[in-house]
Chains A and B, each alone.
Chain A
Amino acid sequence: MSIEWETVIGLEIHAQLATRSKIFSGSSTAYGATPNVQANLVDLGYPGILPVLNREAVRMAVRFGLAIGATVARRSIFARKNYFYPDLPKGYQISQYEQPIVKVGSVEIVLDDGARRIGITRAHLEEDAGKSLHEGLGKQSGIDLNRAGTPLLEIVSEPDLRSAREAIAYMKKIHTLVRYLEICDGNMQEGSFRCDANVSVRHKGRREYGTRCEIKNLNSFRFVERAINYEVARQIELLEGGGRVVQETRLFDSDRNETRPMRSKEEANDYRYFPDPDLLPLALDAAFIEEIRGTLPELPDQKAERFEREHGLSRYDSGVLTASREFADFYEAVVGMLGGEAKLAANWVMGDLSGFLNRDNLEIGQSPIGAKQLAGLLARIVDGTISGKIAKEVFEMMWGGVADADAVIAAKGLRQITDTSAIERVIAGVMMANPAQLADYRSGKDKLFGFFVGQVMKATGGKANPAQVNELLRKLLAG
């Protein structure tokens, strides 16, 4: 009898805070500059230089804490994490250790089989390190300190996740949240949002955790999924073969689709954490925290609930629409201009619009069809000018350049035929052209009704109003 295994995952998400300057210096945090042009004396760790905390980074951490219903610490402490590495200029990283700014909170994730609440142990502020460059420098190594001192919020989950799928859902949830809060741009390719995954397995029903491995620096949802699935399989195979899991740090190789132990260091690091004497304990008063609470936007869960309640959308649709604030805003703008028709708007935003955006690899902000144009198109469906089927053609043409629905409809003569006498004339023609089918229909072959609908639509180039065609056909075919 084979044993049933349970996967246990905890994620440490690093969200780069969207401040203009670094956490302890005035240097820019913009991505992609020439190496070291965004590294001033603070970032270079020059002798005599001192850190000064960026208030904006603090505000952003507080926003996050409030959004996950966590306790925002009135007093938190920056510590030094000491280790030597060339891209760590001071020989220590300033990070919150024993007393983080955000304490216990949680978020809800929705899966096919229902919703689950995932605990967040803590979130703390810290500075990022620089980058070591090894390519194209021969036997030498280069150091780029542009990233050194960039503010990060490290969000540590409880080991509450039970599968790669849950891990992804949780990570996406946090990704959505930080972008709603406008505290992180969420750009995973640039490393603004990345995570370390702690993975272990245990016999189902056991309380104690198995030995875990930490997979470092995963910067796409796909990699997180693949890395976890590989790691889970590896650990189970190891344990079932009588071996044991060694606690270690591993890297995910996306080319070979496997995790590997990181090159073992000569000795384990003892980080010798202690409170940074250059920074006073961070004290926040209640008024400051409340002021920030007052600036919080409507959060994704609240928005989704409102869409369900006020727009009558399903939970699933609401969840999809609110996964990104821009998407939800787009949808709401369309509904606003249409003056209702929420389901129609939701279907178009999630369906054709999403599909075209994905196909062309565009963000919603780059959509050639804006909310106003889409509302213009949908209004023509609502007022019967065109059918839903024709609307898809119009949409495609609008995407191609002419963003105005009415102009496309007029230019291509796509206006729906709603004139009863016109439709009746077409039907009469079709009946005359198909006497055999007409006779069969009248003798009881009801299935031929569809044939006549098709013929009428064909004859009108799809422009006849389908409801009217149905109604008139029934009447005229009956004779």
Chain B
Amino acid sequence: MSAAEIGRGLRAGNFTSVEVTKHFLERIDHAGKQLNAFITVTPERAIADAARADARIARGEGGPLTGVPLAHKDIFCTEGVLTSCGSRMLSNFVAPYDATVVERLAAAGMVMLGKTNMDEFAMGSSNETSWYGPVRNPWDGTKVPGGSSGGSAAAVAARLAPVATGTDTGGSIRQPGALTGLTGFKPTYGRVSRYGMVAFASSLDQAGVLAQSAEDAALVLGAMAGHDARDSTSVAVPVPDYAAGLGRSMKGLRIGVIREFFGEGLEEGTGRAVRAALEGFSAMGATIVELSLPNLPLSVPTYYVVAPAECSSNLSRFDGVRFGHRCKDPRDLLDMYKRSRGEGFGAEVKRRIMTGTYVLSAGYYDAYYLKAQKVRSLINADFRRAFSEVDVLMGPTTPTPAFAIGAKVDDPITMYLNDIYTIGANLAGLPAVSVPCGLVEGLPVGLQIIGPHFAEERLLAAAHSWQLVTDWHRKLPPMFA
């Protein structure tokens, strides 16, 4: 059942939130360990919240999400609950406050089941960099679920939770969404508050949803979006009723197909599924235009300068002084810094801190950081030009379906190329969604739809229209059917 269906059932009195919550807690109990999707499960709190939601529903209060369970990526601070960010560094960190996303979804009456596994500090594309071990793809346990929101993706794909939050810095919602057959939605930068979301790369990070359908994504996004005075980069643009806008027709929608997304490196089956989807939209009355974004292929190198630069600074606060891991018996201050950070961070995080420190250092700043910012504005300009001609852009979310656990973990460059189609939207701050559009050898692949700033409604309507005429989003991993 989707989140929307659960909400309707609750309000119709078909079942209670406590019953639904128990159902998911049991599934987590049975299947959770083999997938390693959760870092923390909070059953007592969930049942208590569910009981409160039931009372609200009984009083005729609440909305479409009241009483519906969800899982939060372990990057969102949750008061009184471990917020580890998938890192040893924060393996002892109990947040003293709730992130805005957590606060808003709780206010909507949603029931938190627990906190999901993730790549350490959201740095990774396979969920293999977590201190808590890799997450397995529910479609094939030998494969990765994608990352960094891999735990949230696996949890929803295996229906351990009806819906989950995620964060997307370079594709961390859309890529795992594609690899696990989900609707993964990354909103416009600034649409959702970053307050309480442990920062990876502040100019790119954006919270979003991993859902079973566009309808679910619309409901949850609507509840979490909006201006927040505590985040200076959140934007005061009114939040439309996303669910109400789902029915818009595809007739006359101008779709741009990004030529650069269909070149070398795109796996054949994935390409075929995406092209078939484009024909589907054409059949619904949309016009398809092929166009070129010439600077887009520079996304990956640009991203791997900007993101590490920001992360090297953002992660400086983890110094063993006030919170997080501190080494045993430091000899002096320098020893405490070196060993606390050396022990607390994993290899990928260290790699990025070092890269970021290097690109910001005196003598290299202009050649790397400043250059990357310039390329970033060129990429922005490419997108702006494209959106003067078309309403949305479409292409594959990932070059291939899910790959094997361990296959790329020792080869960062190959791993980074997995985000080649998703990074552009982050650099330009654009909303984008991945929707399931086929199976290749039993593994899901995703169609990516990118829109101009604050065109969430348009993207959700396109995704929903697609889901009205297809059932890829209803397919379940055989082991969890």
Contact = CB atoms under 8 A, between A and B. Distances in A.
Contacts of B365: 272, 274
Interface in B78-111: 83, 85, 90, 93, 95-97, 99
A277 B317 contact: no
Contacts of A279: 232-233
Interface string B380-415: 000000000000000000000000000000000000
B40 interface: no
B202 A82 contact: no
B317 A89 contact: yes
Contacts of B198: 47-48
Interface stretch (A49-57, A61-69, A362-370, A464-472): A49-57
Nearest to A268: B362
A92 B77 CA distance: 22
A461 interface: no
B232 A52 contact: yes
Given A82-B360, A272-B313, A49 B90 contact: no
Interface in A239-272: 266, 270, 272
Interface in B156-212: 194-199, 201-203
B26 to A, nearest CB: 31
B96 A50 contact: no
Interface stretch (A38-46, A104-112, A214-222, A352-360): A38-46
A91 B197 contact: no
B337 interface: yes
A47 B323 contact: yes
A80 B195 contact: no
A46 B314 CA distance: 11
B46 to A, nearest CB: 22
Contacts of A476: none
A49 B233 CA distance: 13
Interface centre among B230, B232, B309, B310 (most CB of A within 10 A): B232
Contacts of A82: 312-313, 316, 360
Nearest to B204: A277
Contacts of A280: 232-233
A382 to B, nearest CB: 60
Contact of A84 (B77, B196, B337): B337
Contacts of A45: 317, 322
A51 B231 CA distance: 7
B357 interface: yes
B333 interface: yes
Contacts of B195: 48-50
A289 interface: no
A431 interface: no
B369 A270 contact: no
A390 interface: no
A52 B229 contact: yes
B35 to A, nearest CB: 26
Contact of A44 (B309, B312, B322): B322
Interface string A261-297: 0000010001011100111100000000000000000
Interface residues of B, number: 45
B419 interface: no
Contacts of A51: 232
B203 A277 contact: yes
A52 B234 CA distance: 11
A173 B446 CA distance: 67
A280 B99 CA distance: 21
Interface in A14-59: 41, 44-53
B292 interface: no
Interface string B50-81: 00000000000000000000000000110000
A278 B199 CA distance: 10
B361 interface: yes
A194 interface: no
Contacts of A89: 317, 321-322
B309 A47 contact: no
B119 interface: no
A325 interface: no
A86 interface: yes
A41 B333 contact: no
A132 to B, nearest CB: 10
Contact of A143 (B76, B85, B321, B362): B321
Nearest to A91: B316
A274 B321 contact: no
A279 B76 CA distance: 20
A242 to B, nearest CB: 32
B310 A277 contact: yes
Contacts of B199: 47-48, 278
A47 B93 contact: yes
Nearest to A272: B360
A266 B309 CA distance: 24
A48 B321 contact: no
A463 interface: no
A272 B361 contact: yes
A47 B357 CA distance: 20
Interface in B291-321: 309-310, 312-313, 315-319, 321
Interface centre among B96, B312, B322 (most CB of A within 10 A): B322
A274 B313 contact: yes
A273 B312 CA distance: 12
A272 B357 contact: yes
A48 B99 contact: yes
A439 B275 CA distance: 133
Contacts of A80: 313
Contacts of B201: 277
Contacts of B99: 48
Contacts of B316: 82, 84, 90-92
B444 to A, nearest CB: 31
A41 B232 contact: no
A51 B233 CA distance: 10
Given A52-B232, A91-B319, A41 B93 contact: no
A313 to B, nearest CB: 49
Contacts of B310: 277
A272 B363 CA distance: 10
Nearest to A278: B202
Contact of B317 (A91, A143, A274): A91
Contacts of A47: 77, 83, 85, 90, 93, 95, 198-199, 317-318, 323
14 contacts: A46-B95, A47-B85, A48-B195, A48-B198, A50-B233, A89-B321, A91-B317, A91-B319, A92-B316, A272-B312, A274-B313, A274-B360, A277-B202, A277-B310
Interface of A: 41, 44-53, 80, 82, 84, 86, 89-92, 141, 143, 266, 270, 272-274, 277-280
Which 9 A-B residue pairs are closest in the complex by CB-CB distance?
A91-B316, A277-B203, A272-B360, A277-B202, A48-B196, A47-B198, A45-B317, A48-B77, A90-B317
Given A48-B95, A280-B232, A280-B233, 17 more contacts: A46-B96, A47-B317, A48-B199, A49-B195, A52-B229, A52-B232, A82-B312, A86-B319, A86-B321, A89-B322, A91-B313, A91-B316, A92-B313, A141-B333, A270-B361, A272-B357, A279-B232
